Amino acid sequence: MDGNGRWAKKYGKPRIFGHQNGVKAVREATEIAAELGVKYLTLYAFSTENWNRPAFEVNALMGLLVDAIKKEIQNLNKNNVRLQTIGDLSKLPAKSRNSLLDGIQKTKNNNGLTLILALNYSAKWEIVKTTKSIADKVQQGQLSIDEIDENYFANELTTGGIPDPEVLIRTSGEHRISNFLLWQIAYSELFFLDIFWPDFTKEHFLEVMMAFQKIERRFGKTSEQLKKNGDS
C-alpha cells in the first residue's frame, strides 16, 4: 500500500493526511475482496524499515492503527471478515498491540475473507527467524535434516497454513517488492499500478482480477501439458 505520503504532498498536506485517507482504500479493497469470495488478503501495513521514519510519523501511524481497527470492527463482522496478523508484534506499542489483538479476538468466528495485516514485518526477518527455529529443532534432536523440504519450511513461516498469494498488487508506480513475502510470492502474478494508495478503489481491484483471469499459470509446465491435463 504505497504512496500515502506522496499523495498528501500532491495536495499540500502533511504525510499523515495521506495515511488517514489510505484507510478508505483499505476498506475498499477489503470489501471488494470479500464480495468476490477471495479467501486471503494480506496488506503490508508497516515494515521493519518503517521504524526509520520520523518519530512523529511513526507515532501517528500507530495511533491511526488503533483508531482504524476500533472503527472497522463492525464493518469486518458485517462482511464476515476475520482479522489476522504477521510480523513481530512484540515491538509494537502496547496500545497498538492490544487493539490489534482485540480485533483478532472479536472477528475470530468469521469464516469469509481472512484479512492479514503485515505489521513490523520483513521477509528477510521472517526467513532468518524460520531458519533459526528449524536449526534449533535439529540441534535439539527434534528434527532430522532429511525431514526439511520446501513444504516443511513453508509451514514454519509466519504464513504457515495460508496459501501462497496468487496476485501481488503494488501501488505508486514503484516496481519493487520491498522485502514483502519473498518466499511466498515465488509464483505470484505481479501488478504494479501507477496510482497512489489513497486513490485505490474497488474498480482498480476488479481490473486486476479480470487481468489475472486471462493469465495462463503454468508453474513450469507447457501450455500443451496444461491443456492435456485439463488444468487451463
Q: How far is CA 227 from CA 211, 214, 217, in A?
A: 20, 15, 12
Q: Provide the whole-model pTM.
A: 0.92
Q: Taking a C-beta distance cutoff of 8 angstroms, is the pair 177, 145 a contact?
A: no
Domains of the chain: 4-229 (3.40.1180.10)
- Rounded to whole angstroms, the Cα distance separating 56 from 95 reads 16
Over the stretch 171-190, which tens digit does the pLDDT of each residue have?
A: 999 999 999 999 999 999 99
Over the stretch 65-117, which tens digit does the pLDDT of each residue have?
A: 999 999 999 999 999 999 999 999 999 999 999 999 999 999 999 999 999 99
Judged against a pLDDT cut of 60, whether residue 225 lies above it is answered with yes
Judged against a pLDDT cut of 90, whether residue 218 lies above it is answered with no
Task: Reduce the DSSP state of residue 12 to 3 states and report it.
Answer: coil
Say which residues have a Cβ less than 8 Å from residue 51's Cβ, sequence separation at least 6.
58, 91, 120
Task: Reduce the DSSP state of residue 44 to 3 states and report it.
Answer: strand
Nearest to 40 by CA among 157, 218, 184, 170: 184
Active site residues: 2, 50
Mean confidence (pLDDT) of the chain: 94
